[in-house]
Amino acid sequence: MTLLPIDSDTQLGRISDKPGPRDDPKFAAGRVAFFQYLTVAVFLFLITGFWDLQVSNPEIYNELAERNRIKALPIIAPRGKILDRDGRVIVDNHLTWSVILSRESMRPEHLGPIAEGLQLDRDDLVRLVNRYRGRPKYEPVIIKQELTPSDIAFVESHKDPEFFPELELIHAQRRLYPESGFSAHVIGYTGEISESELDVAEFASYEPGSVIGKFGIERQFNDSLMGVDGQRQVVVDNRGRERQVIGIKEAIPGKNLQLTIDLDLQVVAELALDGRKGAIVALNPRNGEVLAIASRPTFDPNKFSVRIKPEDWKQIVDNPDHPLLNRAIQAQFAPGSTFKPLMALAGLESGAIDDQYAVHCTGGATFYGHYHHCWVKHGHGTVALHSAIVHSCDVYFYNVGNRLGIDKIAYFAEQAGFGRKSGIDLPHEADGLVPSSEWKIRNFRQKWYPGETISVAIGQGALTVTPVQLARAVGGIAMGGIWYKPHLVKTTKPDPPHVLALNQENVDKVISGMCGVVNESGTGLRAKIPGYEICGKTGSAQLASNEFIKKGGKAPKDNAWFVGFWPPHNPEVVVAALYEGGEHGQLAAPLARDVIKSYLDKKVRLGKSAMLVSKAGGAGVRGRSAAPGGAGVDASGEAGGGSRRAAPVPASPQNPTSGKSSAAEPGNTDVAGSTRPRAATSGGSEQP
């Protein structure tokens, strides 16, 4: 059989009359049929594929399609602002971007590159995401807040399906705290709720990822400051672009919180403490409102606002000065001579002494076999109540204490609020300690030795107080025995005060002594404000026991205290100042004086502007009068403003940081130290 020339121009491969086997088109009929069966098989194969997807379980794919299409984006509720008593903003919010990660479309292997792109720690990110296990998948995880421009650029350029579609940018309101740690302790800070906190009952109602108050006011009033986050449901396309909003639940913003703090006073208090260690508390004894509360050293709460960097945290925690300690409510130190007015009052009230009772001070006295020094080596001569307070004669008060006995002292101290929390609306307040015979037995299984009373009588020994306790106690005494609970949040009706029926004559005698301290060349001369009768009391409290010093130990510098108030009767303001290592109360006096002066200056200013307004015949005195103080807002709200901006502060003419003058002080340190009885327990900072 020859090959037919297919390209011949005649029949072109056509079938001849005698076709060969291959020329019969039917020869492959069987194989063509096979092809038909193959076709049927192919179509059955395909149809079953569609059956599986479309008929057997379309719900799964319907849901997947819905998830593709619908994105739930949280709307973060802004926290309430924190305002001062005049409505000036202390803590504000600012708009930032956060990046959220959708766990529905998340791939575990993406976490590494995402962490790298956003400069996060990969392990932290994995841990964060794992924390959401067991929560509904549609809840996204906020993985980074306060995005930098480069973070935003990274997310924008990588959130499409080819890279990391699990990423999404959302707006968020972040906390903006005053710079330089201004009022940091009282305001506190917020932060993301931690894993361990989620297990605590206090935080049980919060969800992972919530930003909650962790310290100070932010923590104490978290529930009212924190709003309720909303949610937006949007239809998105494959690029994550929003096509349509299908549902929106608006966020409920947190409530603004108005504090009793007066920024004018607060700024002065912060300035006064600048460069020092210590605390200032200013209260209105008439209702317990806290006008200023400051503690140094401080920290920058802005560093905490989301998640603090480990190195920043380490720096704060390792700082030997403990900047996180709110000394105003947590520092527990011996009050020293600031305790004497209470001793005087206790003596008078209990009848142990009267104002005629006098003691001859020769620079010391012996009690129960131990010699106790007075802080003035050569003695005060004969002193009675008034001059004993004015000149802070230790020997006089040793005798008063000896006459009273420890339990009477403890009774009056506790009545004045020492030895337990003042109840101020801040977390982590310390109790302080008022020793008593019962306390001794309970804690040491020992009876109280009368000799121990002697050091307590001058505010040493086991006695410790916090600045807020001291301010409250002295303010309450000056009020004639009415102690209000200190509070930071404005309320129309304060809690009923603790009242102790006191003889007003006795109170007046003590007040008169305290006025002498400031105005009659007493120890508190530096608190004097011309034209105003400021009353107060200094204190220098030793920190180490005499034994320790005798053994050659290097004693830390004494703490300086001052507590002062104005006016002498029914005072409007009481200020307690603690200057750690300030050596003598005389050096704490200017700190308190600055704050009181700023209060007086403001009062004058308001009076004047009120007069101006009334002359103009206008109403709304209060609204106008707040204006002059408005500068304080800037100080708190702006970068770098904070405590450095002296100009708007009314009390600034006299600079409180006068390092020169301390050198000219009489060297009282060791004298005061010698007043310590050897048998006494060790210094205030080392209480059991």
Partner 1 sequence: MSGYLSVRDIDWGMVFISILICALGVVQIFSATHGTIWEDAWWKQIIWVAGGLLLMWITAQIDYHSLMTHVTLLYVLSVVLLTAVLLVGKQAFGSTRWIPLAPGFHLQVSEFVKLVIILLVARFMAELRSETLEARDVLKVGALIVVPMLLVIKEPDLGTALTYLPILAVGAFLAGLNWRYLIATAIIVVLVVPVGIHFLQPYQKARLVSFLDPDRDPRGTGYQVIQSKIAVGAGGMWGKGVTKGSQTQLRFLPVPHTDFIFSAFAEEHGFAGVVVVLALYFMLLMQIVKNAQTAPDSAGMYICMGVGALMLFHVLVNVGMVVGRMPVTGIPLPLMSAGGSSMLSIFLMLGLVNNVRLRRFVN
- CA 398/CA 396 separation, integer angstroms: 6
Minimum Å distance from CB 158 to partner 1?
A: 11
Between 58 and 553, CB nearer to partner 1: 58
Nearer to partner 1, 55 or 639 (CB): 55
Sign of CA dihedral 214, 220, 222, 225: negative
Distances (CA, A) of 629 to 86, 280, 288: 9, 20, 22
Q: Does 7 bind partner 1 (CB under 8 A)?
A: yes
Nearer to partner 1 among residue 23 and residue 116 (C-beta): 23
Query: Which among 116-124, 230-238, 389-397, 484-492 is the span making contact with partner 1, rule CB under 8 A?
Result: 230-238
Instruction: Tell me which residues in 143-202 interact with partner 1 (CB under 8 A).
Output: 161-165
For residue 512, how many other CB atoms are within 10 A of its CB? 17
- CA dist., res. 89 & res. 80, Å (int): 11
- Closest CB to partner 1 among 53 and 499? 53
Q: For 662-665, which contacts have Cβ atoms below 8 Å and span 24 or more sequence positions?
A: 662/583, 662/587, 665/583, 665/584, 665/586, 665/587
Q: Rounded to an integer, what distance in angstroms lies between the CA atom of residue 187 and that of residue 119?
A: 29
Report 552-591 residues binding partner 1 (CB under 8 A): none
Q: Which amino acid, residue 375?
A: W
Helices (H), 246-393: 263-273, 310-318, 327-330, 340-350, 385-390
Q: Which is nearer to partner 1, 40 or 612 (CB)?
A: 40
Q: Which of 237, 547, 665, 686 binds partner 1 (CB under 8 A)?
A: 237
Select from 3, 639, 647, 664 the one that contacts partner 1 (CB under 8 A). 3
**Shortest CB 177 distance to partner 1, Å:** 40
- The window from 17-25, 199-207, 330-338, 402-410 that contacts partner 1 (CB under 8 A) reads 17-25
Q: Bridge-partner residues for 231, per DSSP?
A: 74, 249
Q: Is 54 in the site for partner 1 (CB under 8 A)?
A: yes
Query: Cβ 168 to partner 1, closest distance in Å?
Result: 15
Per-residue burial over 325-364, b = 16 or more CB atoms within 10 Å of its CB, e = otherwise: bbbbbbbbbbbbbbbbbbbbbbbbbbebbebebbbebebb
Q: Which two tokens stand for residue 543?
A: 């920190």
Torsion, Cα of 674, 675, 679, 684 (10° steps): -100
Task: Return the number of the residue (41 or 612) whose C-beta is nearest partner 1.
Answer: 41
Strands 289-296 and 278-284: antiparallel
User: Is 337 a residue of the active site?
Assistant: yes
Query: What is the spatial distance between Cα 266 and Cα 599, in angstroms, rounded to a whole number?
Result: 10
Binder of partner 1 out of 198, 236, 358, 549 (CB under 8 A): 236
Considering the rule CB under 8 A, would residue 246 count as an interface residue with partner 1? no
Of the residues 94, 107, 135, 420, which one makes contact with partner 1 according to CB under 8 A: 107
Contact mark string toward partner 1, 19..48, x via CB under 8 A? -xxxxxxxxxx-xx-xxx-xxx-xx-xxx-
Per the CB < 8 A criterion, the answer to whether 70 and 240 are in contact is no
| 245 contributes a contact to partner 1 by CB under 8 A | no
Binding string, residues 60-79; x marks residues near partner 1 by CB under 8 A: xxx-xxx-xx----------
Per-residue binding letters, 418-447, with partner 1 (x by CB under 8 A):
------------------------------
User: Judged by CB under 8 A, which stretch of 4-12, 81-89, 261-269, 313-321 contacts partner 1?
Assistant: 4-12
| Residue-by-residue DSSP string for 131-187 | TTTTS-TTS-EEEE-S--HHHHHHHHHH-STTS-TTEEEEEEEEEEPPGGGTTHHHH
Angle separating helix axes 340-350 and 394-404, nearest 10 degrees = 40
Residue 613: count of CB within 10 angstroms of its CB: 17
Interacting span for partner 1 (CB under 8 A) from 88-96, 235-243, 611-619, 655-663: 235-243
To partner 1, the closest distance from the beta carbon of 184 in angstroms equals 44
**Closer to partner 1 by Cβ: residue 39 or 504:** 39
Q: Which of 96, 105, 258, 523 binds partner 1 (CB under 8 A)?
A: 105
Measured N-to-C along each axis, helices 406-415 and 450-457 cross at an angle, to the nearest 10 degrees, of: 40
Annotated active-site residue in 102, 305, 337, 682: 337
Output the smallest distance, CB 68 to partner 1, in A: 5
Q: Which is nearer to partner 1, 40 or 248 (CB)?
A: 40
Shortest Å distance, C-beta 4 to partner 1: 8
Q: How far is the CB of 224 from partner 1 (least distance, A)?
A: 42
- In this structure, the dihedral spanned by the alpha carbons of residues 516, 519, 522 and 523, taken in order and rounded to 10 degrees, is 110
Judged by CB under 8 A, how many residues of this single chain contact partner 1? Answer: 64
Contact 383, 365 (CB under 8 A): no
Instruction: Please say which residue, 54 or 503, places its beta carbon nearer to partner 1.
Output: 54
The token pair at 633 is: 């807002």
Among all residues, which ones are annotated catalytic?
337
- Residues in touch with partner 1 (CB under 8 A): 1-4, 6-7, 12-15, 20-29, 31-32, 34-36, 38-40, 42-43, 45-47, 49-55, 57-58, 60-62, 64-66, 68-69, 105, 107, 110, 161-165, 235-239, 243
